[in-house]
């Protein structure tokens, strides 16, 4: 089975302020206009839990599958667009409702490529258990279905999901708007990227004894302390042009020497992803 993504014909231009109508919350009247997150660069606060430290600003719109999940003005998690109505993120990011931001580079300044969608349907992996002590990181994967599909442009398009797992030594990229420093929080204005390397499974097990399964993959933070951090959870680990990991968990503070970031190994879940999308 080959990797898949669903891409209708792409528009050349970005879509200016392409917003879903936001349904009222708790019976309150709908207030028109753009979401509050676009009016101030750091409005709200980061709510994600896990792990890009000492990375670099991504070239604008170079990661067109990158999504941000908000609760009102609160950055919750990252996510990856894998089909026009579907996002893949971490199961520990689950909330009843999300405001989804697509095509964004800066969280404080619009450039005409942004799209906003709402989502109220979450499909966490059935074997994810968030109730265990200190949380259980196994099967930390979830599909989120948007109310209306994204309008695909050069700045908003899905990423391939492949059943072919990448080997140790593969060079990959992580991205997100999470904190740039740890343990103090310093949120970036623009999307950040970092280059990381897949490490051997045994090396990952040695770093986190008893906590690593065959559905997890670790990426090295040994060079210059690069790592994902708070607010990046649920975001993509991209290797060889396909989605290979979901930012899941790691050491706190982030980018600690010899403690790699841990990612849900997406290649192990392709059948579940396809069946869940087909059945819903």
Q: Which residues contact 127 (CB under 8 A, 6 or more apart)?
A: 138, 139
Instruction: State yes or no: is 61 an active-site residue.
Output: no
144: part of which helix (H) or strand (E)? strand 142-146
Closest by CA to 272, choosing from 145, 159, 164, 127, is 127
How far, in Å, CA of 42 to CA of 102, rounded?
A: 17
How far, in Å, CA of 250 to CA of 166, rounded?
A: 20
Asked if 233 and 248 count as a contact pair (C-beta separation under 8 A), the reply is: yes
Peptide bond into 228 cis (omega under 30): no
| Block residue for tokens 């994967």 | 141
Catalytic residue among 18, 140, 227, 232: 140
* Strand duo 115-124 + 18-19: pairing: parallel
Catalytic residue among 162, 175, 233, 248: 233
Catalytic residue among 5, 61, 92, 125: 92
Instruction: State yes or no: is 227 an active-site residue.
Output: no
How far, in Å, CA of 197 to CA of 222, rounded?
A: 9
Q: For residue 241, what are its two tokens?
A: 């042009």
- Number of Cα atoms under 13 Å in the Cβ half of residue 257: 1
| Block residue for tokens 């706190």 | 252
Instruction: State yes or no: is 92 an active-site residue.
Output: yes
How far, in Å, CA of 113 to CA of 14, rounded?
A: 5
- List the catalytic residues: 92, 140, 233
């Amino acid at each position: 089975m080959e990797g898949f993504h669903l891409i209708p014909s792409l528009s050349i231009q970005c879509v200016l302020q392409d917003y879903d109508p936001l349904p009222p919350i708790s019976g309150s009247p709908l207030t028109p206009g753009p979401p509050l997150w676009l009016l101030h660069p750091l409005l709200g606060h980061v709510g994600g839990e896990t792990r890009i430290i000492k990375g670099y600003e991504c070239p604008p719109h170079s990661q067109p599958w990158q999504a941000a999940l908000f609760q009102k003005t609160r950055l919750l998690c990252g996510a990856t667009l894998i089909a026009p109505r579907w996002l893949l993120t971490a199961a520990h990011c689950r909330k009843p409702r999300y405001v989804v931001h697509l095509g964004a580079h800066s969280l404080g300044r619009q450039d005409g490529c942004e799209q906003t969608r709402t989502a109220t349907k979450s499909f966490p992996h059935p074997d994810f258990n968030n109730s265990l002590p200190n949380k259980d990181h196994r099967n930390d994967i979830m599909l989120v279905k948007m109310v209306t599909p994204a309008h695909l442009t050069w700045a908003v398009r899905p990423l391939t999901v492949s059943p072919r797992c990448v080997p140790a030594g593969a060079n990959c990229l992580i991205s997100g708007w999470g904190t740039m420093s740890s343990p103090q929080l310093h949120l970036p204005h623009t999307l950040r990227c970092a280059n990381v390397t897949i490490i051997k499974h045994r090396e990952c097990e040695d770093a986190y004894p008893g906590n690593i399964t065959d559905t997890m993959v670790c990426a090295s933070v040994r060079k210059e302390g690069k790592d994902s951090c708070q607010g990046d959870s649920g975001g993509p680990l991209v290797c060889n042009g396909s989605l290979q990991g979901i930012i899941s968990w790691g050491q706190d503070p982030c980018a600690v020497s010899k403690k790699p970031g841990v990612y849900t190994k997406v290649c192990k879940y392709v059948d579940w992803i396809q069946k869940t999308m087909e059945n819903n």
